[in-house]
Amino acid sequence: MSMFLYRTQQKLQCPVKFYSVQFYRFLVRKNMSSYHYTEKNIKSLEISISPERLSTYLRHTNNHKEKALKLYLQNTTISADFYILLQHIEITLRNALHNMLKDHFSQENWYECKKCSLAESESKLIEKARKRVGERHEYIKTPHVIAELSFGFWVSLLAKKYHQNLWIPALHKSFPHAVLERKNIYKHLEHLRNLRNRIAHHEPIFMRNLGKDYEDISIALKWLAPDMAAWIKTHKPIPDLTPISELIKK
C-alpha cells in the first residue's frame, strides 16, 4: 500500500477494500499527479513494463515518456472497469446457454450427450476443463466444469456449425429479447470476446471506440437478461470513456 493510500485510510477510518469505484479513480489520479518523474525512475519503469509494450503509448504521446506512462496507467484503470462489465456478460451468457442446453437434452452434463454433437475443438475444451477440475476436486461435478469453460467456448456454440443442432432447437431461446439472426448475435459477442481477451492480456484499449464497446455490452445483457442489465447499470458506474486526445493531456 502506498503512503498516500495508508494516510487516506487512517483519515477516513475505513478499510481500503470498501472504497467506491469513483473514489478509487480519485486515488489513482491523486497518485498520478503527486508522483515525481525523474530520468532514473522513468528508465526503471520502462524496463519493468518493457520497451515493446510501452512503444504503443509512446507513439500516441509523441515519444514523451512521462505522458506515455500516465497514459499506460489510464489504460489500466479503463481496462479494470470494462473487465467488471465483461465478467457480468460472460457469466450471464454461460448460465443462459447452459440452462437451455440442460433442459433441451434433459441432463445436466449435456455436453456428454451424443445428440449434442460438439465439434472436436469444443470437445477438447471440455476435456481440458474436466482435467483442471479433477486436479482441484475429488469428484468432477458438472457445475465445476461449466464454470471452468471460457467465454470463447460459449461464444463458439453460437457459430454457424451449431446452427441446426443447437441454435434452432434450443439456443435461440436464450436470447428472448434479441430480434436478430444467429450470425449477428455471434458477431456481436465475438467482438466482446476480442475486447475481453485484449484486456485479459493487458493490451491497450484506449484507441478503441469505448463508447460503442460499452453500448455493445449493455445491448448483449439486454438480449439475455434485461433485469441483469438494469441491475448492473444501477450499481456499476460507466467506465471512463474519455477520448484519447483528452487522456494524453492528463
Tens of pLDDT, residues 33-55: 678 999 999 999 999 999 999 99
What is the pLDDT at residue 228? 93
Q: Is residue 61 part of a domain?
A: no
Task: Write out the three cell numbers for 138.
Answer: 475429488
The pLDDT, as a whole number, for residue 25 is 54
- Give the whole-angstrom CA distance, residue 110 versus residue 107: 5
Q: What pLDDT sits at residue 6?
A: 42
Could you give the CA distance from residue 64 to residue 21 in angstroms, rounded to a whole number? Answer: 29
* The predicted structure's pLDDT at residue 33: 64
| Residue 127 located in a structural domain | yes
pLDDT at res. 180:
92
Residue segments in the chain with a per-residue pLDDT below the cut of 70: 1-33, 236-237, 243-245, 247-250
What is the per-residue pLDDT for 127?
Answer: 96
pLDDT at position 239: 74
Give how many domains the chain has, as a whole number: 1
The Cα-based distances of 20 to 17, 61, 95, 188, 214 in angstroms read 9, 30, 28, 31, 20
Do residues 57 and 219 make contact, with C-beta atoms less than 8 angstroms apart?
no
Predicted local confidence at residue 232, as pLDDT: 87
> Considering the domain boundaries, does residue 37 fall inside one?
no
Q: Can you tell me the distance from the alpha carbon of 139 to that of 137, in angstroms, rounded to the nearest whole number?
A: 5
50 inside domain: no
Q: Does residue 74 lie within any of the structural domains?
A: no
Residue percentage of the chain with pLDDT more than 70: 83
> Is residue 165, in this structure, part of any structural domain at all?
yes
Would you say residue 43 lies in a domain? no
Give the C-alpha separation, 174 to 41, whole Å.
Answer: 52
In a domain, 226, yes or no: yes
Average pLDDT over the chain reads: 87
* Predicted TM-score (pTM) of this structure: 0.82
Check residue 10 and give its pLDDT.
Answer: 47
pLDDT at 29: 55
Q: Which domain holds residue 171?
A: 80-249
11-38 per-position pLDDT tens digit:
444 443 434 455 555 555 555 667 899 9
